[in-house]
Amino acid sequence: MRTYLAKRLLLIVPTLFGVAAVVFLIMRVIPGDVTLLILGGDQTGRIDPQQLAAMRHQLGLDQPIAVQFGTWLWGVLRLDFGTSLWTGQPVIEEVLIRLPLSLEVAILATIVSVLLAIPLGMVAAVRQDSWVDYVIRVVSIGGQAIPSFWVGILVILFLVIYFGWGPPLEFTPPWVDPWANFQQLVWPVATVGYRYAAVTTRMTRSTVLEVLREDYIRTAWAKGLRERAVVIRHALKNAMLPVITLVGTEFAFLIGGLVVTETVFTLNGVGRFVVDAVAHRDYPVVQALVFLIALCFVVVNLLIDLTYAWFDPRIRYH
């Protein structure tokens, strides 16, 4: 187990280094210069070359790319992600302002989806090819097919027309005013949760279907166990591994993957911050966010692998 853990932790290093290198290169290749965007130019659109050079020097953009990358990596090792080229604030502070909102939406959407998806997927599998299965499959495929930004637009439209509701301008944390927080996040959570539940329902259905064909399930039936015991105790527990993997990876990506939902609901979260940072060519912000999301992804993946042994005691780590 220890050797396995050490091996997995060691493998995280090249993956994160690769992500850091790729995102660093991508941001340098994207056309558009942040210094030009910041300076904007005078009324005729002209920019003083000396001012431009001074700004580039100030931001460290006049150094060779390898040096810039090295400096940035050294900062990351000390948990210093630099300062935003656009706002001048430390990146980590900017991220920490937005993280609670995205984290809350991601956690609530995960809870909603798991509570809906596991029972629905299980029922669909047990009643394969019945009308219940067809309804659950159609609703869950619909959840994956309908673009979340369109659902968001429809929800806002409905609420604006019938209830005079407007998207909130500022995020209220749950510890300040739980009711205001609930009102702000209920629709984004429902929108994201539906899509997320749809994916998880389909996965639960197909894995339970596979497990139900196993010999030990036939044995359980032959022993005369009740349906509830066969399905929940024997089938569901063994079908959970791929579902946990999916729930975990989707959660890791949700924090940064709320790009479109946050844009539609004008929520000032991490996802929207990425879009704005790409548009502004705010290199340190994009680099930091992608790096942190990737870190979250690999750590969650590792945790998922470690929970496998709890669900399936046959699994041993080498």
Partner 1 sequence: MAVDSSLIGASATAPLAARLTWPEQVSGFVRAKPLGAVGAIIILIMLLVAVLAHALAPYDPYLADYGAQFARPAADHWLGTDEFGRDVLSRIMYGARIALFVGFAASFAGCSLGAALGVVSAYCGGTVDLLLERAMDILLAFPQLILALAVASILGPAVPNVVIAVAIPIIPRAARVVRATALSIKENQYVEAAHGLGASHYRVVAQHLLPNVFAPYLIILTAQLGTAILAEAALSYLGLGAAEPTPSWGLMLSGSAPSYAEKAPWIGLFPGIAISLAVFGFSLFGDSLRDALDPKLRGK
- Contact residues for partner 1, defined by CB under 8 A: 11, 14-16, 18-19, 22-23, 26-27, 29-31, 128-129, 134, 137-138, 141-142, 144-147, 149-150, 153-154, 156-157, 160-161, 202, 206, 209-210, 213, 253, 256-257, 259-260, 263, 274-275, 278, 286, 290, 293-294, 297-298
For 10-30, give the DSSP string: HHHHHHHHHHHHHHHHHHHHS
Tokens of 277: 């940072």
Buried b (16+ CB within 10 A) or exposed e, 9-37: eeeeeeebeebbeebbeebeeeeeebbee
In contact, 141 and 202? CB cutoff 8 Å: yes
Query: Cβ closer to partner 1: 213 or 314?
Result: 213
What is d(CA 177, CA 197) in angstroms, rounded to the nearest whole number?
28
The minimum distance between CB 179 and partner 1, in angstroms, equals 27
The minimum distance between CB 192 and partner 1, in angstroms, equals 13
Query: Cβ closer to partner 1: 21 or 315?
Result: 21
Q: Which of 217, 212, 291 is nearest to 256 (CA)?
A: 291
Residue 127: φ, ψ to 5°: -105, 45
Q: Which of 255, 275, 109 is nearest to 185 (CA)?
A: 109
The minimum distance between CB 174 and partner 1, in angstroms, equals 25
Give the residue carrying structure tokens 């850091």. Answer: 20
The minimum distance between CB 31 and partner 1, in angstroms, equals 7
Query: Cβ closer to partner 1: 35 or 140?
Result: 140
Query: Cβ closer to partner 1: 80 or 276?
Result: 276
Query: Cβ closer to partner 1: 37 or 54?
Result: 37
Query: Cβ closer to partner 1: 24 or 171?
Result: 24
The minimum distance between CB 306 and partner 1, in angstroms, equals 18
The minimum distance between CB 49 and partner 1, in angstroms, equals 26
Q: What is the number of other CB atoms lying within 10 angstroms of the CB of residue 6?
A: 10
